[in-house]
Every structure is written in C-alpha cells, then in structure tokens.
A and B are shown apart, each in its own frame.
Chain A
Amino acid sequence: MISKKLCEQILLTAMSSGADFAELYAQNTQSNYINFIDGRVDSINDVILSGVGIRIFNGTKTVYASTTDLTEVGLINCAKTVASAFVDIKHTEIQNINLYERVVRNSHFIERNPANAPAKIKTDILKTACFAAKNFNSKISQVNGAFMDSDHKFLVANSDGIYVKDRRILTRISVSAIASNNGENQSGFHAPGKQAGLEMFDIIKPQDVGTHAAAQAITNLNADYCKAGQMPVAIENSFGGVIFHEACGHSLEATSVGIGTSQMAGKLGQKIANEKVTAIDDGTMPGEWGSINIDDEGNAPQKNILIENGVLKSYMVDRLGSRRMSTPMTGNSRRQGYEYEPTSRMTNTYIANGKDKNEDIIASIEYGLYAKELGGGSVNPLTGAFNFSVCEGYMIRNGKICEAVRGASLIGKGSQILQDIDMVGQNLEMGQGMCGSSSGSVPVNVGQPLIRVSKITVGGR
C-alpha cells in the first residue's frame, strides 16, 4: 500500500488546479475462482487486482482517474491528469495536507482465510455441494458449481486528513442444477455467501446448497407455466427481500435522489409505504455478505432506518450526494474497485419483522401466487418501475399453497407496491446477491420476513 507521505504528495498534486477536496483509493485484491461442471473441476483461475483511483471535487463537479501504474511517477501523473480537468478555477495554492492514520475496528472475525487455503480444500467443498445436487434425482442432467473467494485490501486517504486501511474477506459458493425431461430443461439455483472464511461451511453445509438447487430444478420441471394477470402475492423471506431492494432501495440512494431522478426525492417525513413497513439498511452486521468496516470513502457504516412504520426517514448518502443534498453522509459509499468512482449503495437492506403470523398471510389469499424464491431484478429509479423473476412459485387457492408454477415474473411501480405491502410476517432472513450500478458490482444482502402484496402484475403465459 502507498505511504502516507506519498499519499499527501499525490493529494496535493490532484488539488493543484482548484479542487476543494481530493481522495485516493488504492486496492490490492486476490480473488480465486473454481468452476465445476459435468462432474469435474473445469477451471481454476486466480486474479490479483492492483490499482489506484484518484478523485477531486469542486463543489459538485467531480473528476476521477484510475491507473494500474503504481510507480511514484505513475501515481503523480494520474494526480496531474485529474488536476488538468479543472480549468479556469480561481484558487489559492494549498500548502500541505497532513494525514492521520485511523485504525479500523474489525467486526468480521475470519478464522480460516480461503485465499491461503490449498485449492483441494475448496474443490472438495464444491464437489460435495455439486454431487449432492447431481444425486438428488435421476432427472438432474447437469450441475454447474462455483467457489469464489476474495481477499480485498484497500486504503482510503483524503484531503480532510483521513488515512485508513481495511480488509474484506468474502467467500461464496453457488450451485446451478439443470433438470431435464423430454427435451425440456428447467433450472434451480442457490448461492449463499458470507463475509467469512472457510468456517462459513461449519454453518452452511455444502450438501444443503446442492440439494436446494436440485430440488428447485425438479419442482420447476414438474410445474406448469404460471398464468398471467394481476393478483395478490405472498413473497417469502430471504432473497424475497429483493422486492424492497429494487422497488424502493435504489430510489433511496443519493445517486438518483441527489440529481432529482428518483421517485422518492423530496419525500422525507412523508408516508410513502403501508404503516406495516419498516425498512433498514445496516452495514454493521457482523459477518454478513453486505457488511463493511468502513465504506469506500473511509466512513463508518451505520444502521440507517430508511422507512419507519411507512414514513420515509432517511436516504443513503455518499460524499457527492451529501454535497448535492446538503445532508450528512450515511456510510453507504461503495464501489467494485479502484476503476469505479464510488457512489451511494445499499449494504444489508431488509424489511423488519412485522406482527402478522405467516400462516395468516397464506390463509388470507383466496387466489394468488406464493413466490417462494425470487431471482434478480432491476428498477428505473425515475419512474419506480421494477421487475424481477420468480425462481420458485406456487399457486395459492382458498388460503392453501397448491401446485408449483414456473416462468413467472413480477412487475410494478415502487411507490405503489410499498403501499400494497399490507401484511408483514415474522421470519426475517437474509439472502445474498451482487448489485450492479454505476460504481460496479458490490455484494449486498437483501432480506425480509414473509410479506403479502395485495395486488401485483404477474407475468406469465
């Protein structure tokens, strides 16, 4: 990592043309990838990413440059590149920047760092998961698995005097199972991850990961296509929380709120959701996939109450958003790596437990859909229009979960869906995903208990 003295020199150079703030982000990440398919370990690859990003501000104007040239000359040149983008700005020369190293409190205890583990330990875990899927049912025709781990070390230094280093160790396993019958394929998927080392598999059994994916594939193979139309939907916990992530979470990021392209802009203090909805973004949760010790601007994460009993309480705000919105930062600045300028992002975002009993939620639906597991989705923060896929679903008739259905998707408008969440259960659980946005792909948890949406458009046949 880069010394304090050199960081000071780089920041001064970057600010030489009139910037009122400068920041340096340096990264060294070792990532390992193992892929398994057709009963064999198909490929192993490891990558060491190493680079620096330098950003300057003048008010709300930003300049960013990134480089893999980590020589002193290369770094100073990168700083000169950003400085050269500000022209004709009246300024007085900054004489010096004094950086103070801050020690970060680690909330995520890592027992066995996967980056240091022999590949065989990891391939054995992956094989256990994949063979469990393959052996689940004779109709499982193919199993594709992956083991991923990364050891991410980074440094943030800025002209406010921050000089702080941190390390994030992430481990994830995924299994995709294909079930086939009469020339038709259906799939199932499961991919748990944690901010943890190999000890993660003391809690999450690899064979359970495999059987989860395989069972879903078999369920879908035996299912008929979901009928299209508007209906009430019960969305299960864990990754079901992607509904809040897409329908509302992105619209609460300063990235869109700060420039007025969010349906939620200007609504602080207003009732934007059903009173049963309390939603939280919490980057402090120990060992969780979306947690951080510090955000990617060097700030401490927080437990942010976004919506409390239906009332909008907070946005998620990074440094640029803070300047645009004249509101404090919330520890939500994130980026995939040095190539990306950071922006406001979610961490672990969830709808809190409610007071409704789960069995009452199902019993309350005469005809509707039980979305047991959701896939990914997307949203347009401007209009609030969102979509996501249902990986495993069942029809509900007369208050009972009935036959499985496949190929469903859910669409709607965020502001409407928040009002239509009219029952909230009590089995809060988190699911893991990768969230893509302008600052790249970052690990996030989504979560919720079982909820009921009184009416939503279900895409199907």
Chain B
Amino acid sequence: MVKTPIYMDYQATTPVDPRVLEAMLPYFTQHFGNAASRSHVFGWTAEEASEKAREQVASLIGGSGREIIWTSGATESINLAIKGIANFYADRGKHIVTCKTEHPAVLDTCKRLERSGYQVTYLDVDRTGRLDPEAVREAMTDETILVAIMAANNEIGTVHPLKEIGEIVKEKGAFFHVDAVQAAGKIPFDVNEVRADLVSLSAHKMYGPKGVGALWIRRRPRVRLTPILDGGGHERGMRSGTINVPGVVGFGAAAEIAKQELPEESARILRLRQRLYEKITSELDMVHLNGHPEHRIPGNLNLSFAYVEGEGLMMALKDVALSSGSACTSASLEPSHVLRACGVDDDLAHSSIRFGIGRFTTEEEVDYVAARVVESVRRLRDMSPLYEMAKEGIDLKSIAWTAH
C-alpha cells in the first residue's frame, strides 16, 4: 500500500536531501561564524565553507566559483540581474528582450522597468512553448542591452533552444540572462555552451534548502551590475548582507549531488514520467499534452483533461500534491499565462494539471496517481455537462456562453 499524501509537485519545491541536511547541520551550532569575520577561526571556517560551496554550485553549470553571488533565492537573483544590468548599462540602451512564458520574477521586473522608461519586447512562443531563436534576432535593436530567457519552463517544462539564442544575443552584443532554476541539475546546462552572462539559480528546486539562491555572473568578459542592496559590500559589492552559511553549504552539497547523479536520475525520472503518461492516456481519451513532447525537463508532465476543471480534479486527488493551470482560486479567474502564450484555449487551460516527478518519486506512487487520475476524471466527466454535449456531437464553440 502506497503511503499518502504523495508529493508530485517537484517544480514547486523539493524536499531537502538528507545528505544535504547532514552537510548543513554543523554550520548552525558548531561552525556558526560570520563568513565576513576576518579576525578569527570562526569566520575563516565559515568563509572556507562558503567558498567551497561556490565551487560546487559553479561546477554544476560549468562556471567558476568566483563568479557566484549568493542571494536569498532565484527571485532576488533575477531582480538583481535584470535591474542591475538595466541600471548599470542604461547609457548603452534601454531595450530588453524577454519571453511571454517567463516566470513572474522576470516579467514583473521587466514591467517595473517599463514604468521607468525602458522598452521591453515580450516574445511569443509556439504551441509547445518554444521560442524561435530567429524571433530573438528580429526583436533585438541597437538599443537592446539584455535578453532574458529561461532555460526550462516551470509550468510546462519546455526547454528553449538556448545555444542558438545565446549565439544570436552575442552576435548582437547584448547581455544574456538565463533563469536556469528548473533546468540546473535536471538536464545538462553549461554557461559557456549557451554563452550566458548571468544565470539565476535556486537551491530548493534541487533538493537544497529554501531561501538560498545564486546569481552566476561572468567574469570574462566582465559583467557589471548596479546592486539593489546597500550595506557591508559583501559579494564583491553586488549583494550586501551576511552570507547564510548553512544555506549555501546546503546549496553546494545539493549541486554536487545533482551533478554526480544527473545522468542516472534524469533517465529514471524520464521513465517514470513516460509510465505516468502511458498509464493515463491508455485509459482516458481527450487528454492533451501541454509543452513539448521531447524538449522538456524529465520531471514535468503537464496534461489537460478536456471537460474536467483542474481545481475540481485536484480536489478529487486530495491525497496527491499537484498543481493546476486553472486559476479558479485567484481573484482574476485568469488561467495560466504560460498556457495562454502557447495558444491553449482557456477551457483547456482550466483543465490542466502539472505532475512534477522527482528524486523520491517511486513507481508505486506513479501507478497509484495514474489510477486515481483515471478514476477521478471518469467520475467528473460523468458529472460534466460539456462532456455530455461533446459526446452528443455538439460543437461547444458554437454555443453563446455567458462569460462571468
């Protein structure tokens, strides 16, 4: 008998790996020094641990430890990267290129910059959520200082052709920021291969602790930033504030494990995802895959179950932790901006469920979830007027619905 509740929301967060926790523990009570204390062994020990962690995190993405800036998480990293570049290089131009499916940390940062005189181009994606590199070329002007594109999408798992995009960005001479939160440790990702200048990372998406992030900033050629926080001048003046030593030690350990285990782990997770997909689609019709069939991170499966509302379905699956592109709980009632950007009809966006598979997901859990999904979708379709109408051959688009 499978143990419930089952966690299947690994794109939201991940549990701390016990090996990571073990690495962190001495830095709470024993090696508690301030890494900025230069006058005693407590400070030196903390600094040494932080420096080792920089190397571990940088190594995961093919960079150098000296290029890592610690932050409180990827939201801060992204804010620092985008605002920092925009401010420091404002005299070079005030145009930024990004994409409609980016995380709100990118989109809302860009919107704020628009209010202070910057121009932002939000690029469209295809139906699978992929960006055409040529669209980046067309959008870039002499005024473009920054292109910000995620490596992999958090909702639908789509992986962009980053190498091709990076080449174009460099050809045109702008800085390239990559939000690699969902990609790092999940698929091979190398800062030099994609020619990134800045890369945002988060510990808690790779079995590290929450509240810890990193911004990788290229040193050659040097990339400079205007800091957001003023204070003690930590992190080469780019991010003042005492380093969260246990946190960064955990991040380092998590990155090292992710790097070592990536080939085996991603293959195992991919098999589980395929198993889940096959079990569901062999039993149910009218199930749509959101995102790209191949260019996606292994742990993400995003499905729309036609004629069943996502939140209603999650209520039936209450012993499984999932998330939905339905925004039935939000005041706006707007479904996912990512699914919209992919051209998914609003009704199918409301019917979407994201299954996030990760390190601790088992085959038994996948089988249990698949069976529960099949059973619940059948029950809710029996209760759905839309399913009945569709089965009768009524074209739902021909009906004059009353939007509310």
A complexed with B: no
On B, residues with C-beta under 8 Å from A are none
